[in-house]
Each structure stands twice: as structure tokens, then as C-alpha cells.
Chains A and B, each alone.
Chain A
Amino acid sequence: MITTIAGGAPAVVTAAGDVPSVVQSVDWLAIAPPVITAVAALFCLVADLFVAEKHKRLLGAGAIVGLLAAIITLVPLRDGERETFCLTTDPATCSYTADHFTLAIQLLVLGGALLTALLSLHGERGKPPVGEYWFLLLSSAAGAALLPAARDLATLVVALEVASLPAFALVGMRRGDRFSSEAALKFFLSSVTATAVTLLGVSFVYATTGTLHLTRIASELGEVPGQLDTLAKTGVALTLIGFAFKTAAVPFHFWVPETYVGAPLPIAAFLSVVGKAVGFSGLILVTVIAFPGYADVWGPAIAVLAALTMTAGNVAALRQSATRRWSAVRLLAWSSVAQAGYILVPIAAAAYSSDDQIGATVSYALMYAVVNLGAFAVVVLVARTKPLNRISDYRGLYAKSPLTALTMGFFLLCLAGLPPGIIGLFAKVVVFSSAVDAGLGWLAVVMGVNVVIALYYYLKWTAILFKAPAGAPAASGETTEASEAAPRPAHGRVPVAVTAAIALAAVLGVVLSGYPQLVLRFAAADLF
């Protein structure tokens, strides 16, 4: 945590109590969620050295317990009124705030990490170095949990890097796999470039405003001297780029499919949910809290970005051939790009409308996290027997395991936003209504067209699930390329943890469909 004394006034510590101390007070409960996660990460790393090979699986259990503990600490914070690391000179300016926005994103991040951990428990056993794997996963989660709480640019950038750096290593975890290391390198190089650009932007903003605290930047930016105006605008634009990259917004999206395909499946799931959460929550913080005065700059930019992102993602997803290798992951990767576009819409709307639109983003992201992780969980399950991971491998899933197929169909229809995926539909309604409310009619229409395009590939996949298996006398006349490798018998039973992850996501999805208020409440509330 950076304990900056912005403003630079040298505080003199005297014996008398009326002069503020330089040491900022720490509210340990408020920072518990990221701290517990970080401690659990270190614990896994150290314990790995002392645990015998056959007990290594206990490390995973340790990681899950740590994440659960972190999630539980969110409960006493639910009032959303805590702040800490406040300036000793100005108690109203704090670096860490646990408001409702922070808590919602932390819930998303930690819950996403928990599901990822469940998916990883029975991964390719023994192959990746276990201790490091859990350490990296939890570190990344800790960074992602810290980010939404950060209220100064330095903490924000540090959190962004804490979340990203372990992710590069995680993507490269599949040892001996050429794709994996290539993907990691690609991810690393493009991400680092984006971070460098962000840092440049941050330094410009600091140069013009003289402060790193978001709320102060907001007030200072209004009084930037004329000759520094260009510098300030450039700073604002450059800062946004780094976060747009994390969100995988066009034109910073090219790394996504390669990286998802190269990464171990649970990590791809993690990136698609937690990685994106890092990006858009950072974007929200800098736009809505730090740069509200420049709404006329970033508002149209994000609106265009959103339109391009969803269109590019959907068109690319549409072009995925069902019989190509790893087409299932590729499709989910491109669909996640498209979904990022929807997530950006309310942020753009926030620039145009005085009403609080950010809640729509949070609601949508929570819905997306649940169903996308669920879909990835089913992909992990199917990939155990069909390592090529093509969409055509899903043919006849209903005949083999009806429940898995039904849940997968449910997740896909939630992503598409059609009943029976009611929560997906309402999340989209919230996003639409934020666009309409802000007068962004054109963006709403673009999104509408995109929803239709997206339905095509989601429904196509859903239809494949329920087809008669290849080989069986199909009632339909359609011929799909018979899988070249006869399905190998599944090695052993389906792991309990994966089943638990699918069940958890499915139950959450169904409960939310029956009672959408659980996530939509954020859409109606002032989160900050």
C-alpha cells in the first residue's frame, strides 16, 4: 500500500496531539479481503516447500479456504462506509475505500477466483508446479481485489500490476507446450506496453494536477492552467488505454484468443472474468471518479470503443468453425470480447447522464461472471475426454449426461440473453436502459443488432448439445464431421470439484433468474 503524502507538506511530528501524525491509520477489517488473499498466497508458496509430494493437493484446499475466508470478511463490511489510508492532513481523502462498488467487485473477483480454484483442483495432476500455481492465482486475485478499492493512481497502477504479472506466468504454466509459452509472451509484451503507456498518462496527470488521489484530481483538473491543458488531456487519454487493454476492448483485443487457447483452461476462465473485472473497474474509477470534468472527451471515446468491441467480438465469434481445434475456447474468447463491449456501454452512458449508470455495469458483470465461469467449467469437464476441445465435440452431450447439457444450454442462453436465461435477459435490459436513459440511442441500436448476431452462435452451440450423438442414427439428415479420435473413455470419475463448480454456477444462475433483484439492485443504487 502506498502511503503518499500528496501535497508534499512536511508534517512535523511533535509530542502535542494537535499536529497530525505522518503515520496513517489502518482499518484492518476494511482491507481484509485483499490482505487475506495475499497471505493465503504466501502461505501456499512457503508451505509448498515443506509439504510432501503426496499431500500437495492440500495446498489447493488451503487456497480455497483462504478465498472463502476473504469472501466472508465482505459480510461485516456490507454497509460500505469504511475508508482507510486517509491523509493525515485531510481525513476525507483516502487511498482505500470499501464502498458498495468495491465490495461488489471484490465479491466478483474473489468468487471468480474461488470457482477457478475449484476447476484447478483436479487439473493436469502433478504437471504444473503446484505451490507456484496457487501462489500466482491467489496473488493475481489479491491484486484484482485491491484494485476496485484503490482511490489513488499509484495504488491503482500497483494493483493493476499485481493482478497482471502473475497472470502472465499462469498463462505460460502448461510446460512443454509451445502455444502456452508463446501465448504468455504475447500477453506479456502487449500488456507491458499498455502499462507503460498508462504510467506515462499517470505522470502527465500528476504533472498537471499535483496529486494522485482520484477525488483531488477531479477537482484539480477543472483548474488546470491553459498551457497545461493539452498535457492534461493527453494524460487522461493515455491512462485509459491501459485499462482498455485489460478489458480487451478493441483495438487492444488481439491478444485474447491466442492467450485463452494457450493458457490452461481454468486460467482462461479466470482471465475472462477476473481479468476483465480488473480492466473495467479501473476504467470506471479513472473515468467517473478522477476525470468527470473530461466526460466530453472520454464519453464519446468509450461509446465508440464499446460499439467497436461488441461488433468485432461478435463477428469474429461468428466466423469460428465448429470443427476447428480449440474452437470452444476460441468462441468463448471472442464472445468475452463482445461481452466486454456490453460492459462498457453504461460507462459511456455515465458521461452523458447525471444519473448513476455504473451500477448497470456492475450488475452485468456479476451476471456474466457467474454464467461465463459456468460455461468454462463445462468446457473443462468436456475437455477431459475430448482434448481437442472443438464445438463439434459437444454433439450428443445431452444423450450422455443430460444435466451437464442442460446447464451448459442454460449458461449459453444466459450469455445470449434469452429466456430461460432470464438473468441474462434482465442484465441486458439494464444495460439497454442505461443507454436509452443517457440518450445514446445509436449505441443501443448497435447493441441490439449485436445481441442478434450473438444469438446465432450461442444458439448454434446450444443446438449441438441436444443433437443425437454422431454415429447414432441421427434423426436429422445433417452430417457433422465424425470425430477423428474415437472418444476415449473418461479417466476415472468426474472430479468432484469440477462438478461442484458447475453446480455452484448453475444454482447461482437459476436463483438469480428467479430473483434478479440480487444483482440488479446495484443498477438502481448509488455505489460510490
Chain B
Amino acid sequence: MIDISESVMQFLLAFIVVGPLLGAAAALLPAPPGLRGKNPDQAVLRHGVTVTGVILAAAIALVIGFDHDQPSNMQATTDISWIPALDVRIHLGVDGISLPLLVLTALLTFLCALYSYYKMPAGPSPKAFVALLLFLESGTLATFAVLDLVLFFLAFEMVLIPMYFLIARWGGEARRPAAWKFILYTLLGSVIMLLGLLLIGLQAGTFDMVALATDNGRALTASTQLIAVLAIGIGLAVKTPMWPLHSWLPDAHTAAPTVGSVLLAGVMLKMGTYGFVRIVLPIAPDGMRTFAPYLAAFAVVGIIYGSLACLALAKKGASGDLKRLIAYSSVGHMGFVLLGIATMTPTGVNGALFANVAHGLITGLLFFLVGALKDRYGTADLDTLAGATGAALYGRAPRLGALLAFAAVASLGLPGLAGFWGEMLALFGAFDPAPGLNRPAFLTFMAIGGFGTLLTAAYLLIVVRRVCMGVPRPKDQETRAIADVQTYELATWSPLVALTVLAGLWPAVLLGLTDPAVQKLLAGGKS
């Protein structure tokens, strides 16, 4: 939009990746005079808000400077040699695919830092919390910004340690086994992914993603592509998560603190699907074509499985945890994303990318809301919350109830909100998959996926009915009043609400960015 010189853009992107890292180191040091605040805890939490805020501002500046006429071109690129022995280069850049994810990450992390400033999760000192949060942000942003396979792996691994500690230290019940499950599962997946990445790099002679994508798999033999797609796909599928490799996710979400859940669902799951779009699709298209029907099959099983699990949890008497329910709903939503990718068509992949961002916004909001509910009631157990008739949130905390209903409706894919477009485009892509893919199979997948949207609507409406509606208990039976939405909560949540509406009403703002880039990726740099 505004012409910002290339070197400033380069600096901005590098700063977005490195800035949080420096901030994390600074968080461990004692605060300098003048910035001490009321007490050390408050000072370090404020430091977190400041750093993430600056990063968000830099990300917005990047959007402003981004040449929206050519979103398929890598912009703000830096390319310097780092480890010549391994041919690893610090190659950074953004295009229309990674830009929305970068902004989403910067935004969600900032909102999490802001939320924690007012509502620090119970646990050890905030100092380590802020440092880990910033370290996590750096790893996630780096994943979306790097254009070198080995560097991608490095960034992919960077988020593990901070997330482990966030869950294990600041989490709720059963956090320790959940944290272990999370890190061991993901590490096993990513080590297998590394083998695939190395295979590609050694066979093609370069680790550079842009060069490999332009080459479009021509330098790789068919068997290499098959093995590489299988290995990389497993690693990414664990992260996404794809059914049946998802079982770490519900535990991790249930145990994680609110901000941990928000970041886990909002941005970390996207690292998996982003890897599919950025690495698997353009670099090994032949291998992907072989595995695409299987990927789509697993994806639709995930959609149905996630929805059924949610229905079971939402049932009366099942004592289902709301956080666990949203975690399972993520499995279903990411199923749509995977289905879109598996079609290998521009429509499907655009839908997948759109659903990615929409899921980040909506599920982030949902986890914030459920976290707030859990803080107020002391539990996220649906049966305890709802009692006999329902929690009657509309009556007791009308604004909180309305927001929850809004988020649930957005999540079930109501037209006009962000959740709709991605899933529709993904299904639309499955209607007419790429040439070489079995159309009847994909038509079946589309039908099953469509049925999944119905199930999704069912369980979310049940949740709304049980949590928001019901008979308010008489005042004397109230153990304590339920506070409605606080100012800081409104401040953290309203950006998500606004963006959900914006993306729903004006999808072109996202699709205009992703579509040219997707076209180019699928065509292998020919266009």
C-alpha cells in the first residue's frame, strides 16, 4: 500500500523473528531503573506486553509495506549464508501465504501477553512465563518466515521446549503427563520429518524452499518423492493434528493455561498445515498426488471423529470438559484444512489457508472465553457449569454469554462470519479435485465433510444451549456473583471478534493475498 524501501522491509522481517528472542533474554535480566514498575512481577509482564506490541506493530508495518499487487512474489527477502558446511542459509521472506499467518501469530501473542498482564495464570514466577512466551513467539514467527528446509525444522523444534514448560508449569490438572505427551509425540513426528527434509535436500542438492518450489519436484525421482512426502507428512500431520495422530491434542489443551491453549490452537497447529502448503505441495507434487486421497480420507475421518467426540462430550451427564471439547472441535476443523490441501487445487488450498486463519481467530477467542468461564466458575466441566437446566449465562453475564454464542456460531461456519468461507472452499475444492486424483473418492469425501458440518453445528448449539441458556438460579443460592466481561477482557477479545466479522464479510482481503501465491506454488513457478 505504502512504498517502504526494501531494506526497511528486510529489517522489519528480521526484527519480527529476532526481536522476541532478544525480548526473552531481556525478560530474564533485572529491570533497568525507570522501568521497575510497582513490583518485579508487574514490570516483567509489562515488558512482555511491550515487546509483543512492538512486534505486532512491526508486523502491521510489514503488511502496509507489502506490495499487494504482487503477493505471489517473495518480499522482504534476506538471504545470507549461515552454515556453508550444511548449505544452510538464513533465507527469510514473506508472500501472500505466510503474511496472514505472521500477522495472526503476532496478534494472538500480543493479546495473550495483554491478557496475562491482568490475569496471570497460577504458577511460578511471571519472569520465566514471559521469557517462554516470547521464545515461543520467535519460533512460531520464524516457522512462517524462513525459506530454508533446515531452518524450517529448527524453527519447528524451537516451540517445543517453551510450550512444554508453559503446560507443565502453569497448567491445570494432569499437566505433567499432558506436557510429556505433547513434546514426545511432536518430537517423534518432527524427527521423522527431518529425515524427509534431508532426503529432499540431499537429492536435490539444495535446501532452499524457493528454488525447490520453482523446480516443482523435477529434480527428485518418484520414489524419493514418495518417501519424502510420507516422512514429512507424518511429522506435519502430528502437529496439525490429523486423525489418528491427534491424541496428544485434547490432553495438552485441557491441561494448558488459557494463553497456552490459545497459542497452541491459534498458531501452533497452523505450522503443520503451513508446512503442507509450503513444502509438500510444491516440492514433491508427484509424491503428494499419490498420498492425497489417503490424506483426504484421514481428514474426513477426523472431521466426523472430532464432531462425534464433541457430541459425546456435550451430552448431559458425560461430564465433558469444555476445553477438551474445543480441542476435539479443532481436530474437526483442521480436518477441513487438510481436505482442502489434499484436493491440490487452487480453490481447495485457498480454502485451507482461509480456514487456517479463521480457525486461529475463532478458536483463539473460544479458548479465551472458556478460560474466562473457568476462572469464574472454577471449573470447565460442562455438567457442573450447566447444572440441571443450564448455566444461564445470558441472564447472569449477558455480554459474556453473547460473546460465547457469537464464537460458537462463527465456529460452526455461519455464512457471514470467518468460519464459513474456508470450509466451503475446501468442500468446493473436493468437488473438483486436481487432475490425476480420483474424483468419485473426493466426491464421497465432500459428502462426508458436508455431513460433518451438520454435526459441528449440532454440538456447538448444544453447548450454547447448556451454557448460555437455562433458568437463572435464585439469588440466595448463588455462591458468588459471576462478573461480566471486564474491560481488559473486552480489549483482548474485541480484535478477534472484529477480524472474524471482517473476514466473513470481506473474504477478498485474505483470498486476494493467498490466491496468486497459491496459483504460483501449484504451478511450480511457471506462472
Contact = CB atoms under 8 A, between A and B. Distances in A.
A451 B198 contact: no
Contacts of B128: 466
Nearest to A413: B161
Given A459-B183, A466-B128, A445 B83 contact: no
Interface stretch (B188-196, B255-263, B374-382): B188-196
Given A418-B157, A451-B191, A523 B85 contact: yes
Interface in B146-195: 150, 153-154, 157-158, 160-161, 164-165, 168-169, 176, 180, 183-184, 187-188, 191-192, 194-195
Given A432-B195, A452-B188, 4 more contacts: A430-B85, A433-B202, A459-B183, A520-B85
Interface in B37-94: 82-86, 88
29 contacts: A402-B28, A419-B139, A420-B135, A422-B154, A426-B83, A426-B88, A429-B150, A429-B153, A432-B198, A433-B201, A436-B199, A437-B202, A441-B227, A448-B192, A448-B195, A449-B188, A449-B191, A452-B187, A455-B184, A459-B164, A468-B124, A475-B123, A475-B169, A516-B85, A517-B82, A521-B84, A523-B85, A524-B85, A524-B86
A478 interface: yes
A419 B183 contact: no
> Helix, strand, loop or mixed for chain A's interface?
helix
A382 interface: no
A451 B190 CA distance: 11
B35 interface: no
Given A425-B154, A429-B194, A520 B86 contact: yes
B86 A441 contact: no
A31 B28 CA distance: 47
A375 to B, nearest CB: 17
A51 interface: no
B487 to A, nearest CB: 28
Nearest to A468: B124
B448 to A, nearest CB: 33
B83 A517 contact: yes
Nearest to B158: A419
A463 B28 CA distance: 17
A475 B154 CA distance: 32
Interface of B: 28, 82-86, 88, 122-124, 128, 135, 139, 150, 153-154, 157-158, 160-161, 164-165, 168-169, 176, 180, 183-184, 187-188, 191-192, 194-195, 198-199, 201-202, 227
A523 B84 CA distance: 10
B199 A426 contact: no
Nearest to A422: B154
A433 B150 CA distance: 11
B198 A452 contact: no
A81 B80 CA distance: 32
Most B CB atoms within 10 A — which of A419, A452, A463, A517?
A: A419
Interface of A: 363, 402, 406, 413, 418-420, 422, 425-426, 429-430, 432-433, 436-437, 441, 444-445, 448-449, 451-452, 455-456, 459, 463, 466, 468, 475-476, 478, 516-517, 520-525
Given A419-B157, A436-B202, A451 B187 contact: yes
Contacts of A476: 169
Nearest 9 pairs between A and B by C-beta?
A: A448-B191, A524-B85, A520-B85, A419-B158, A436-B198, A452-B188, A433-B198, A521-B85, A517-B83
A490 to B, nearest CB: 24
Contacts of B124: 466, 468, 475
A452 B195 contact: no
Contact of A452 (B153, B158, B161, B191): B191
A517 B85 contact: yes
B122 A475 contact: yes
B315 to A, nearest CB: 31
B180 A456 contact: yes
B104 to A, nearest CB: 22
A448 B188 contact: yes
Contacts of B195: 432, 436, 441, 444-445, 448
A433 B88 CA distance: 13
Contact of A478 (B176, B184, B187): B176
Contacts of B123: 475
A445 B189 CA distance: 11
B154 A419 contact: yes
B82 to A, nearest CB: 7
Contacts of A466: 124, 128, 165, 169
A406 B161 CA distance: 14
A445 B501 CA distance: 46
Contacts of B201: 433
Contact of A516 (B83, B176, B184, B191): B83
A413 B135 CA distance: 15
Contacts of B153: 429
A422 B128 CA distance: 20
Contacts of A468: 124
A455 B184 CA distance: 8
Nearest to A409: B161
Nearest to A451: B191
Nearest to B187: A452
B198 A429 contact: yes
A398 to B, nearest CB: 9
